[in-house]
Structure 1
Amino acid sequence: MTKKLISIFLLVLLVLSLGGCKKENENASVTAGNTNPTTLRVGFCPGPYSEMWRTAIAPQLEAEGYQFEYIEFSDYVQPNNALANNEIDVNLFQHSIYLKNFSTEHNLDLSLVTEVPTAGMGIWSNTTASLDEVVDGATVTIPNDETNQARGLRVLESAGLITLKADADKAKAIPDDIDQNPHNLKIVPMEAAQLPRTLDSADLGVINGNFAISAGLDFSEVLYQEVLAEGYVNVIAVRTEDNDAQFVADIKAAATSDTFKSTIEEPSGKFYTFQKPVGW
């Protein structure tokens, strides 16, 4: 009888031990890079895309059991490095051309999931009421990263303030590629996040939409607003190794759903005037 009780006791201990191991393994799968984590770490830069995620994407995913940790970065370099280093699971801040160029330059294996509506660049000023009033020798600040510097120069060209050399690669244009500069503008490349602050000293600033919104600039006062070319609509990005993961499929479904679109197209909302991806 005693041997039988001991056997039963040992069996119970074994079952409890196996159950504990199983629970530990289940917990580990959520935190150690499981292909479908229940808590997603999402990275942004200052601007409207954090709010876009929180209001138009997150509620759909939360209904499916996902939770989120949000991380905001101060520049355009950190979010992709953090994604590649598995410090976050997904980011939303950049257009596809920047993603491609940055990934190639830094040897990162990142992929876009889908495009989202995007606020284009604009030309802003605290001192000039219209582009017809731009003074000779005016100082103009533009982004200094390769992709957005070229983009900023193209915005100035589209606005009629400069022309670029006919043989210049406009996707990689730099100030030296300026051909005609009738106002003798002084082009000053700066870190994109700092551009809104330069309006206190510069005559004009060519500012990315997300940083303009983050700084509280009023789009009704923009002197010129970019019409986005193909490749310059912002994207949701993940590590390429996660492309086939369920959480990526769920993100894409949420960001292309009718629910997402109805939130974006709400006339009283922040995103109503954003330029839409092709096929929207």
Structure 2
Amino acid sequence: MKRWLVLTLVIALVGLLAACGSKSESGASANTNKNIKIGISPGPYGDMIKQAIAPYMEKQGYTIEVVQFSDYVQPDKALASGDIDANLMQHTVYLEKFAKDNKLDIGKIISVPTAGMGVYSNKLKDLKELPDGAQVAIAADASNLARSLRFLKALGLIDLKADIDATKATVHDVSDNPHNLKFQTLDAAQISRSLDSIEIGLIPGNFAIAAKLNLADALGIEKLSEDYKNVVAVRTADIDGKLGKDLKAAVESDEFHQAIEDENGIFKAFDKPEWYTTKYAK
């Protein structure tokens, strides 16, 4: 009886260790499904998935479904809950803040070429025409609001307090506003629809493209830092798992590079991440 009891305990322990080994530190099992859903927000990244990522993934036996959301919030919540398997719609700063604030166990795999924020107007042809007291629309979410203010500073239109964290800046941190600009904070997707009632709007690239705005028509285009280039995100358990490794390999593949550099496509003019420019430096 003692031998049978010991054997039973050993089998149970082995089973428990095997189960633990298939989970991440968060307790979530790694994804082994090859029918995957990738979430996006309005913009060009659904096309990037279909044209640049899917060709490689399909060769590895995956079937990809692109799921479009109308905002920045739901794609991360859907990813954390398991409703989708990955997303491509946000930069690192937003991802890390949103995940921390909402206690979501998700993270990035790799950055991709990204359309920068632009200054758009239906009333002005040049920023030199910007009148005093102009109405300026900027994104309401914290990371893009701070990003917009830094962009306005880079354009020489405002200045920010020297003793603040510029990545967390708000309109209350504007120290110099020589044109007495009036700020309106709107959902990023709404700014393009408000251009008739404001002088200028600062629109993240994906929303500008979704609204069929031409990047060449922008009165100014942001030069992106690495933390503001969009990323492929998955649940933490999948970052070092097969899904994460395959998605990373897809973005680093020849198929991806060819699609990005297509002369007839929209991605060639996007701001490239450092790994990409290093890999394909001529």
TM beyond 0.5: yes
Q: Residues 252-280 of structure 1: CA distance to partner in whole angstroms, max 9, x if unpaired?
A: 10111122112101222110100010121
* Structure 1 position 236 matched with structure 2 position 232: yes
Structure 2 match to 1:160: 156
CA distance in 2: counterparts of 1:178 and 1:85, whole angstroms: 38
CA distance in 2: counterparts of 1:265 and 1:137, whole angstroms: 42
Q: Residues 152-174 of structure 1: CA distance to partner in whole angstroms, max 9, x if unpaired?
A: 11111111111111112211000
CA distance in 2: counterparts of 1:228 and 1:69, whole angstroms: 29
CA distance in 2: counterparts of 1:126 and 1:168, whole angstroms: 33
- Residue correspondence of structure 1 range 193-208 to structure 2 within 5 A: 193-208=189-204
Structure 2 match to 1:30: none
Q: Output the aligned Cα RMSD.
A: 1.1
Matched residue SS, 1:113: strand
* Structure 1 position 93 matched with structure 2 position 103: no
- With normalisation by structure 1, the TM-score equals 0.86
> Which of 49, 65, 68 is equivalent to 1:69?
65
Structure 2 match to 1:5: none
Structure 1 ranges of 4+ moved more than 2 A: none
What are structure 1's unaligned runs of at least 5 residues? Answer: 1-32
- With normalisation by structure 2, the TM-score equals 0.86
Structure 2 residue identity aligned to 1:166: A
Query: Are the counterparts in 1 of residues 37 and 64 from structure 2 also a CA contact under 8 Å?
Result: yes
Structure 1 match to 2:98: 102
Structure 1 match to 2:141: 145
Q: Cα offset for 1:34?
A: 6.9
How many residue pairs end up in the alignment?
Answer: 248
CA distance in 2: counterparts of 1:268 and 1:70, whole angstroms: 23
Matched residue SS, 1:112: strand
CA distance in 2: counterparts of 1:90 and 1:58, whole angstroms: 13
What are structure 2's unaligned runs of at least 5 residues? Answer: 1-28, 277-282
Matched residue SS, 1:249: helix
CA distance in 2: counterparts of 1:228 and 1:34, whole angstroms: 32
Matched residue SS, 1:272: helix
Structure 1 residue identity aligned to 2:131: V
Structure 1 residue identity aligned to 2:220: Y
Matched residue SS, 2:274: coil
Q: Cα offset for 1:250?
A: 1.1
Q: Cα offset for 1:149?
A: 0.3
Query: Are the counterparts in 1 of residues 30 and 238 from structure 2 also a CA contact under 8 Å?
Result: no
Structure 2 residue identity aligned to 1:47: G
Q: CA, structure 1 residues 264+39, in 2 after alignment: closer, same or farther (shift >3 Å)?
A: same
CA distance in 1: counterparts of 2:259 and 2:218, whole angstroms: 24
CA distance in 1: counterparts of 2:211 and 2:182, whole angstroms: 24
Identical positions, percent: 48
- Residue correspondence of structure 1 range 106-125 to structure 2 within 5 A: 106-125=102-121
CA distance in 2: counterparts of 1:271 and 1:244, whole angstroms: 28
Structure of higher CA gyration radius:
1
CA distance in 2: counterparts of 1:262 and 1:62, whole angstroms: 16
Structure 2 residue identity aligned to 1:213: I
Q: Cα offset for 1:243?
A: 2.0
